[in-house]
């Protein structure tokens, strides 16, 4: 397909919509009309006009309730704009009409990830993978859910399955490396991220992830070579998740997977399932100095009891 212009004004979008409606007036042109409006929605999203894209998709979804591609695109656009409940409603309604549809089950898994329901996401992705082992979006999503559940060996097996089908798959490579970091093997993650960071299509966050892995690997080596390493076990590395748009922030201090933009994925995956892990060290909590005791003045005025500190 020819490349689409990066920017599109609202006026030109409206013109395209009018041309599409005029050119597809006949009933036999409904398929072409749907494809044309999907392209318009894609252009609107790419140019940052999310409201226009959702408006186009809302209209299209209403006229094509059984078109799985349309319903999936509509749900995805709603989810990206933060309208998670509406996205889930679209997916649920479509699954009632088409039970077990792999495309909609994959979308359900992605929504469950956004809601922080990793176990439910793993179940939805697993159902798709069991029936279609080469459905890369579901396999990748399954790996993300497994990492969120702390099942890092299983997650890495999922990422490797994606890489067996597509060795250059950016999200799978990045998630594999940072899953190694989460599993305590930053030394194994560094060379993977080093190769990934040299790619022309690597986003800045890949280089940031490389820095995190290198720091973790360096800290590990320093601990192992320290004379006191044998005397006391090294503390576990602590990482917190830094969510990247459009993924909703998960619970505090939970390692999680966040998103890469669609344009760096090599398959048509939802942004938040493109899956780049983003981690940052948890800073040590600073202890507040205790106030000096108040000297008694001999007066009977009572000192108010201290209130609980909500920040502690």
Each domain of the chain, given as residue ranges in start order, spans: 65-224+238-281
**pLDDT recorded at residue 43:** 86
**pLDDT recorded at residue 31:** 60
**pLDDT recorded at residue 48:** 85
Q: Which of 192, 112, 182, 186 is nearest to 145 (CA)?
A: 112
C-alpha dihedral over 245, 249, 254, 256, to 10 degrees?
-30
Using CA atoms, how far apart are residues 93 and 65, in angstroms rounded to an integer?
A: 9
Which residue in the block uniquely carries the two structure tokens 């591609």?
Answer: 69
Using CA atoms, how far apart are residues 169 and 107, in angstroms rounded to an integer?
A: 20
pLDDT exceeds 70 at position 73: yes
pLDDT exceeds 60 at position 198: yes
Q: Which residues does 256 contact at the CB level (< 8 Å), separation at least 6? A: 148, 241, 243, 247, 250, 277
> Which has more confidence, 29 or 127?
127
pLDDT exceeds 50 at position 158: yes
84-88, 196-200, 278-282: range with lowest mean pLDDT: 278-282
Task: With H, G, I as helix, E, B as strand and everything else as coil, classify residue 218.
Answer: helix
23-27, 97-101, 159-163, 214-218: range with lowest mean pLDDT: 23-27
**pLDDT recorded at residue 104:** 97
* Residue range 65-224+238-281, CATH number: 1.25.40.10
**pLDDT recorded at residue 7:** 47
């Amino acid at each position: 397909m020819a490349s689409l212009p990066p920017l599109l004004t609202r006026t030109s979008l409206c013109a395209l919509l009018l041309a599409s409606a005029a050119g597809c007036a006949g009933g036999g042109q409904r398929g072409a009309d749907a494809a044309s409006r999907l392209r318009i929605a894609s252009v609107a999203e790419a140019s940052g006009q999310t409201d226009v894209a959702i408006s186009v998709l809302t209209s299209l979804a209403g006229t094509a309730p059984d078109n799985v591609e349309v319903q999936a695109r509509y749900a995805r656009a709603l989810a990206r704009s933060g309208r998670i409940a509406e996205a889930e409603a679209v997916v649920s309604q479509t699954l009632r009409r088409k039970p077990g549809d792999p495309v909609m089950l994959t979308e359900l898994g992605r929504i469950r990830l956004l809601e922080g329901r990793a176990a439910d996401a793993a179940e939805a992705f697993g159902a798709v993978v069991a029936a279609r082992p080469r459905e890369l979006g579901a396999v990748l999503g399954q790996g993300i859910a497994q990492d969120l559940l702390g099942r890092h060996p299983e997650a890495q097996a999922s990422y490797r399955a994606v890489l067996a089908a597509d060795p250059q798959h950016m999200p799978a490579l990045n998630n594999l490396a940072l899953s190694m970091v989460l599993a305590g093997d930053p030394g194994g993650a560094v060379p993977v991220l080093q190769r990934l960071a040299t790619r022309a299509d690597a986003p800045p966050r890949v280089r940031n992830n490389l820095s995190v892995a290198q720091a973790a690997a360096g800290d590990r080596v320093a601990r192992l070579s320290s004379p006191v390493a044998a005397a006391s076990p090294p503390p576990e590395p602590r990482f917190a998740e830094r969510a990247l748009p459009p993924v909703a922030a998960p619970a505090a201090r939970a390692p999680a997977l966040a998103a890469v933009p669609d344009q760096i994925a090599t398959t048509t995956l939802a942004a938040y399932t493109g899956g780049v892990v983003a981690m940052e060290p948890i800073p040590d909590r600073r202890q507040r100095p205790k106030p000096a005791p108040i000297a008694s003045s001999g007066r009977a005025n009572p000192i108010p009891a201290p209130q609980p500190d909500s920040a502690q």
